[in-house]
Structure 1
Amino acid sequence: MAFTVHVLQLAISVSVFPIFLLHFLGLWNWICKKFFPYFMVQFTKSYNKEMAAKKQELFGNLQEFAGSPGTLALMEVGCGTGANFKFYPPGCRITCIDPNPNFEKFLIQSIAESRHLQFERFIVASGENMYQVPDNSMDAVVCTLVLCSVQNQEKFIKEVHRVLRPGGAFYFMEHVAADPSTWNFFWQRVLKPTWFLMFDGCDLTRESWKALEEGGFSKLNLQHLQAPLSWEIVRPHILGYAVK
């Protein structure tokens, strides 16, 4: 089976050889960072349509973690185009973090359409190094479709712990590795190298629930599900929240 995976990986790599060549020449990262936000604008429309009910359910109790009545200090890591804004309760004070500065113009548009929120600032930084955000300053931290691409999940979760106030909550919705006994997992392995380059560092085979289970949270509410998505390869999902 491993041999078959490697053969198919090679075949797919050959079919998209220009991408691998640009990566070898050190040019692909710039191209991807520049144009990935345009892809995400379209992908977000489809994803939000298919996952709207799940997002409403996930964020339904956000207000319970407000540090003061009616005001929730919320930080979204990997904010992208602002896909989650319409699901947040009124009165949230939003701090946005993303390592790709090219998302900013799309984020500004989402902010203008989200008058129920109070925008604080946009910070260009990775999730593993959010030093601009003070300790114990956030009531909630959110990431969706982010843990698949962070370089070090352990460092990321440590940073989430640092910025969350005691009793604050970390919300997540992530695609993850399929069950190893399934054909879906087989194709995740086959597509992994090409997918990683085409989708800005996204790893199809991440077992992100393990990092959350070992993250040292006082409470972890985690659900596995097959998301109602058109792309079967990313249907395996986890969602929930963890309390500091």
Structure 2
Amino acid sequence: MTFVMRCCVLVVNVLCMPLHLIDAVGLYNTLYRRFFFPYFLNQCSASYNKKMEDKKKELFRSLTEFSKPGGQLTILEIGCGTGTNFEFYPPGSKVICTDPNPQFMKYLKKGMEENEHLTYDQFVVASGEDMGSVGDETVDVVVVTLVLCSVKNIPQTLREAHRILRPGGGFFFMEHVVADPSTWLYFFQHVLQPAWYYSGDGCQLTCATWKHVEAAGFSDLKLSHVEAPLMALLKPHIIGYAVK
């Protein structure tokens, strides 16, 4: 990080001091995370789906490759949020939903009602780093979309995904990532990160997530870097899937 970037980040951190204080006394968790963020994400997710529909269809077209012969495809989605991925899952799939925020449940129920082609097994309130209530090697597919940017420990989340996948199972991902260091976008992602953290409930603009996926120990990895048709800060994306 250059000297100029450090100075700019410091200025933004100073401007965010009221937010830091609100978080320190617990009001951020009580007010924003519980009441406003689920509504905000519900609106943003619908817009994201419209813009990324073709990419999602292309990615999730490969889900059926991981079905057991003559069996049902069991999908576990980490950070399911409002269930905006459900429409892209193959008919007859069984879905296990996890999210650390139980306030998403009312939006999730609506998503379930609109996607009757799926069977919903359970909703587990858990972080991606600790899904101990889900057994080892019990699912065919794990899905994360716009989730690894906000978990506290990406490698641990990937270890959990690897643990619960059966041998030969698939890990599907679609995540925004940090831009190339030679670009102005990289500069602004770092400078605006302190403020973005609060608007996105812990979301990080500066994650080189692909490095963690590459190091996660999967036997096969199909990963692409793409430019998403979104606001500049979120344009850099990685999309793909890996095989356990």
- Deviation of 1:14 after TM superposition, in Å, equals 4.6
**Residues 1:23 and 2:34 are matched in the alignment:** no
Aligned to 2:109: 108
- 1:125–1:12: structure 2 CA closer, same or farther, 3 Å change rule? same
User: Residue 12 of structure 2 contacts residue 194 of structure 2 at CA under 8 Å; is this kept in 1?
Assistant: no
Aligned to 1:184: 185
Structure 1 distance, partners of 2:61, 2:7, is 45
User: Residue 73 of structure 2 contacts residue 93 of structure 2 at CA under 8 Å; is this kept in 1?
Assistant: yes
Aligned to 2:235: 235
Structure 1 distance, partners of 2:168, 2:113, is 31
Q: Alignment RMSD, CA only?
A: 1.4
SS at match of 1:185: helix
Structure 2 distance, partners of 1:56, 1:181, is 32
Aligned to 1:47: 48
Percentage identity across paired residues of the two chains: 51
**1:214 is matched by which residue type in structure 2?**
A
Structure 1 distance, partners of 2:159, 2:15, is 39
Structure 2 distance, partners of 1:186, 1:29, is 29
Q: Any unmatched runs of 5+ in structure 1? A: none
Aligned to 2:65: 64
User: Residue 63 of structure 2 contacts residue 90 of structure 2 at CA under 8 Å; is this kept in 1?
Assistant: yes
What TM-score results when the alignment is normalised by the length of structure 2? 0.95
1:15-58 CA-partner distances (Å, limit 9, x unpaired): 45432221232221222311211111110111001000000000
Structure 2 distance, partners of 1:38, 1:19, is 20
**1:227 is matched by which residue type in structure 2?**
A
Aligned to 1:6: 6
Aligned to 1:133: 134
Structure 2 distance, partners of 1:17, 1:127, is 29
- 1:226–1:181: structure 2 CA closer, same or farther, 3 Å change rule? same
Structure 1 distance, partners of 2:197, 2:5, is 16
Q: Any unmatched runs of 5+ in structure 2? A: none
SS at match of 2:170: strand
- Deviation of 1:68 after TM superposition, in Å, equals 3.8
SS at match of 2:128: coil
User: Residue 223 of structure 1 contacts residue 240 of structure 1 at CA under 8 Å; is this kept in 2?
Assistant: yes
Aligned to 1:146: 147
Structure 2 distance, partners of 1:238, 1:89, is 22
User: Residue 70 of structure 1 contacts residue 91 of structure 1 at CA under 8 Å; is this kept in 2?
Assistant: no
- Deviation of 1:74 after TM superposition, in Å, equals 0.4
- Deviation of 1:206 after TM superposition, in Å, equals 0.3
**1:19 is matched by which residue type in structure 2?**
L
**1:117 is matched by which residue type in structure 2?**
L
Aligned to 2:210: 209
Aligned to 2:222: 221
Aligned to 1:175: 176
Structure 1 distance, partners of 2:226, 2:114, is 31
